């Protein structure tokens, strides 16, 4: 089944809506309304185009935001959870662990440890090929 340009543009507009509103409670009905399509038709087309469901895409956007926010030290884990669009710190922590392999707190510690190592030993983070090329 060939997609018309208009329908494709609607799906892209809905994806952009998700990109701009991932931090808010967003449901499939609301996203489908942005695309001017029924929930079921929108879900089917979105999945076909992006190779993941709208919910999977939204969750990934939220996870990406959470990883960025955890690199800052001015927010608690609960604040990161809410800012990224998750409702419960417990479910956020479980999902984060499943997604990254470590808890949000451990992830934050790893980021700060790496930042400290970069400051203390900057040459150890330069790729070897770069060092060889420029004789550092």
pLDDT tens-digit series, residues 3-35: 899 999 999 999 999 999 999 999 999 999 999
Q: Which CATH number fits domain 62-136: 2.40.50.140, 1.20.1260.10, 3.40.640.10, 1.10.10.60?
A: 1.10.10.60
Could you tell me the residue ranges of all domains in the chain?
1-51, 62-136
Neighbouring C-beta atoms of residue 41, cutoff 10 Å: 12
Per-residue pLDDT, averaged over 110-133, amounts to 84
Phi, psi of 88 (to 5 degrees): -125, 125
User: Above 90 in pLDDT, residue 109?
Assistant: yes
Q: Tokens for 48?
A: 């076909």
pTM (two decimals): 0.84
pLDDT at 1: 65
């Amino acid at each position: 089944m060939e997609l018309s340009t208009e329908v494709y543009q609607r799906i892209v507009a809905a994806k952009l809506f998700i990109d701009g509103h991932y931090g808010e409670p967003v449901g499939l009905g609301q996203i489908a309304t942005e695309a001017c399509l029924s929930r079921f038709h929108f879900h089917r087309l979105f999945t076909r185009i992006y190779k993941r469901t709208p919910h999977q895409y939204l969750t990934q956007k939220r996870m990406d935001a959470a990883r960025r926010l955890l690199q800052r030290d001015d927010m608690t884990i609960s604040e990161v959870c809410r800012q990224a669009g998750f409702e419960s710190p417990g479910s956020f922590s479980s999902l984060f662990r499943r997604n990254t392999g470590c808890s949000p707190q451990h992830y934050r510690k790893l980021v700060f440890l790496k930042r400290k190592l970069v400051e203390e030993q900057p040459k150890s983070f330069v790729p070897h090929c770069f060092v060889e090329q420029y004789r550092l």
